[in-house]
Amino acid sequence: MGDAGASTSPASLDVDVIIIGAGFSGIATLYRVRKLGLKPLILESADDFGGVWKHNSYPGARVDSEWPYYQLNIPEVYRTFSFTERFPGHVELKRYMAHIDKVLGLRKDVLFNAHVNDCSWDEGSGRWTVKTRQGQVATGKYLILCTGLLHRRHYPEFPGLENFKGVVHHSGFWPEDLSTKGKKVALIGAGATAVQITQEVAKDADQLTIFMRRPSYCLPMMQRSLTELENRGFQAYYDTLLREGRNSQAGFPGPRSSRSALEGTPEEREAYMEDLWSRGGFQFLMAFADVTINEEANKVMYTFWQKKVAERMRSGKKRDLMAPPLEKMPYFIGTKRCPLEQDYYECVDQDNVDVVDMNEKKLKSFTDKGIVFEDGTETEFDLLILATGFDSFSGSITNLGLKNKDGIDIKDIWKEGIKSYLGMSFGGFPNCFMIYSPHAPTALSNGPTIIEAQADMIRDFISNLEAANVKSITPQGEAQEEWVEMVDKLNSYTLFPLTSSWWTGGNVPGKKVQLLTYILGIDRYEAQCREKLDELKGFDVVYADSKEKLVTDMPKAAVAS
């Protein structure tokens, strides 16, 4: 990835825009801030670009959004880069990040190995002061948080874990030289990360034991290799494909389905679902309009999914755990993440793989050699993999030392629940924005698409504020409450509230379980946000004139594009 971490220090840490994070969000934001002619600075805790793809190097790590949509819409970048797989892996995505850096010359505006631990607002100067653990101090008018949706690793408090004398690694912190060959491996978790790890470790380890509470409803990836000719041919259409993805529900071009899972004959529904299933990717999930709002419609899709998975497994015990029959359906399909898989169910079905249902076989404590259960039985292993997920949405933000204008840390403000306005800002924090965030279509979207939508809106907003000579802008508390209530109400008409997962914060004990995803799609989200941003609805504004007056409406001329 080029000369990792060898960035020359930016000439000045006194800039216009401070960006925290150098993954997809930070890169997209830096690119746009430069276009405005403003001076940016990225502070990144790692030693190179990549964000989640810098840290996720576990076996099998790859994206489940397909090429060509999992990339930024930057012509000078996509015209000179070729992907080798339909669903790129972490090595390829690191290569892609290095290519962006090389083409755009990003690192001259980046400070690596900079762990932010304090962000404070000064009302007098109208600027943020950001400090790092390493002692750097940066100041800027605007602060943009590009800290990631799934960054802060979650470590459950398992009893006696400190007693285990074997090797322990969280999936989000995987050593490059770690091998599972010939080892007895325990894997805690059955989410998307665990699915990808299983597909690799099951082929390598002597024994793999999967500890899970709920199975994932995996969909077929239908992975394939790409040729250079195919890459070159598609590059002429990237702009159109990515633009249409932006105007869609989830980031993939195509109209919303208006079809009910309850209409037509069973044979017609079966043929329709079979066609979508054979294509791979997430198309199957978007087959019907009523799957996430109607229980009977959801059961139609689950029944098809269960049949497709069950026929691939020999072991009746494992089959009933991984793809339970309809009467034992653990949760509604589509209400938590459905990972993509290549041969996951065949791997689980192998003789050297065991699955432990932790609802039935309860963990008592870790020992020096493994785990002892409440029934007195014990499982021994050499290596423990914690695929236990992340403190999603808020974890990376509440660990920045980010304080509002009154000096109150956001970790205390969000203790009773996450709140935001438009999914991009929050009350009490002037000139502060976030990307890939709560209360946006984040969990139900292709990552780069929603990232670029938010980055574009923030860029245009800042451009208009600068043109209008605005000193600071802060979301109003009432507007923030209305936005959160709207997201909650939209979700209340669906099946989403019935399933607890990282989508709701339910994976972290003590964290408030709440609906954090705007469910109407990227296109409708952007239209709704732009209407409010263009008219400054829900904001208090301080102009940089002699009177320093506080207003809530900007003259339309000042926000003209």
Give pLDDT tens digits for 231-274: 999 999 999 999 999 999 999 998 899 999 999 999 999 999 99
How far, CA to CA in Å, does 81 sit from each of 37, 228, 537?
27, 10, 41
* The pLDDT of residue 10: 76
Angle ∠(9,15,20) on CA atoms, nearest 5: 70
The per-residue pLDDT for range 326-373, each reduced to its tens digit, is: 999 999 999 999 999 999 999 999 999 999 999 999 999 999 999 999
Residues of the chain with pLDDT under 70: 1-9, 11, 546-561
Report the distance separating Cα 74 and Cα 84, nearest Å: 19
Residue 15 backbone phi and psi in degrees, to 5? -130, 180
- In CATH, 153-217+334-389 is 3.50.50.60: yes
> Is the Cα torsion angle 248, 250, 253, 259 positive or negative in sign?
negative
pTM: 0.94
Homologous superfamily (CATH) for 14-152+392-559 = FAD/NAD(P)-binding domain (3.50.50.60)
Q: Is 384 helix (H, G, I), strand (E, B) or coil?
A: strand
* The pLDDT of residue 153: 87
Question: CATH 3.50.50.60 region(s) of the chain?
Answer: 14-152+392-559, 153-217+334-389
* The pLDDT of residue 559: 34
Query: Can you read off the two tokens belonging to residue 111?
Result: 């400070």
Cross-strand partners of 139: 14, 129
- Which residues touch 255 (CB under 8 Å, ≥6 apart)? none
* The pLDDT of residue 11: 63
Long-range Cβ contacts of 462-467 (<8 Å, 24+ apart): 462/17, 462/33, 462/36, 462/38, 462/142, 463/36, 464/534, 464/554, 464/558, 464/559, 464/560, 464/561, 466/36, 466/38, 467/558
* The pLDDT of residue 555: 39
User: Please, are residues 419 and 433 in contact by the beta-carbon 8 Å criterion?
Assistant: no
* The pLDDT of residue 548: 46
- Which residues touch 141 (CB under 8 Å, ≥6 apart)? 16, 17, 126, 127, 128, 431
Q: What's the chain's average pLDDT?
A: 94
* The pLDDT of residue 556: 37
Q: Is 357 helix (H, G, I), strand (E, B) or coil?
A: strand
Report the distance separating Cα 284 and Cα 298, nearest Å: 12
